[in-house]
A and B are shown apart, each in its own frame.
Chain A
Amino acid sequence: GAVVSQHPSWVICKSGTSVKIECRSLDFQATTMFWYRQFPKQSLMLMATSNEGSKATYEQGVEKDKFLINHASLTLSTLTVTSAHPEDSSFYICSARDTWTASYEQYFGPGTRLTVT
């Protein structure tokens, strides 16, 4: 149980283009999902909290117009990196909370490696 998938697992795009990453909770409903970014040999950095049916909450320093988040259903959140630049190259990981449990445990997806050329 508590499986989270991400698609694609890796993507290469050209500078200036946009890339969409999907995060799905496969066997549970997730009102709340989270998007993280991880640089090599570093810990996870929270970018934003995604709430189903409402606007995402972005962490300080994260550009909401650049990293568009949509959480249209209880099992799917998407992160779109708009007008990507090489400095956006990173490992993006999502996590999800089970709506119907009291705990705050987060289950992580396998991550998406983005390379912007």
Chain B
Amino acid sequence: GQQLNQSPQSMFIQEGEDVSMNCTSSSIFNTWLWYKQEPGEGPVLLIALYKAGELTSNGRLTAQFGITRKDSFLNISASIPSDVGIYFCAGFQGGSEKLVFGKGTKLTVNP
């Protein structure tokens, strides 16, 4: 099945730095979701985006739905150690209720 192209695959940053990751697709998505997964846990929904161009924040997290509907990015400002985990982008196409996932971005924050 189709997967989203998520990059970077991994990031190693210092505490306090800002982080940016993105997802792209060759086809249009109607909804973009960003999840965070910690080891041994299920993904937790961080931000949901429903309209092209939409910019949404959740605390230090900001995500945008690309104008072309084929991409989305997630920014984390002033990272802290508890931000570590794997971040997944996911989206819905057309009338499908099946989520398409990216491969994830593993974030490591050094104190």
Contacts and interface: CB of A to CB of B under 8 A. Distances in A.
Given A46-B99, A49-B98, A108 B40 contact: no
B44 A108 contact: yes
Given A103-B50, A107-B45, 14 more contacts: A34-B99, A42-B103, A43-B88, A43-B102, A44-B43, A46-B1, A46-B99, A59-B1, A93-B42, A104-B99, A105-B31, A105-B45, A110-B42, A111-B40
A6 B101 CA distance: 21
A46 B98 contact: yes
27 contacts: A32-B97, A34-B98, A43-B103, A43-B104, A44-B43, A44-B101, A46-B98, A46-B99, A59-B1, A91-B40, A93-B43, A95-B42, A103-B31, A103-B48, A103-B50, A104-B92, A104-B97, A104-B99, A105-B31, A105-B45, A105-B48, A106-B45, A106-B99, A107-B45, A108-B44, A110-B42, A111-B42
Nearest to A4: B42
Contacts of B75: none
Interface string B16-49: 0000000000000001010100001111110010
Nearest to A2: B45
A108 B35 contact: yes
A29 B59 CA distance: 28
B97 A44 contact: no
Interface in B92-111: 92, 97-99, 101-104
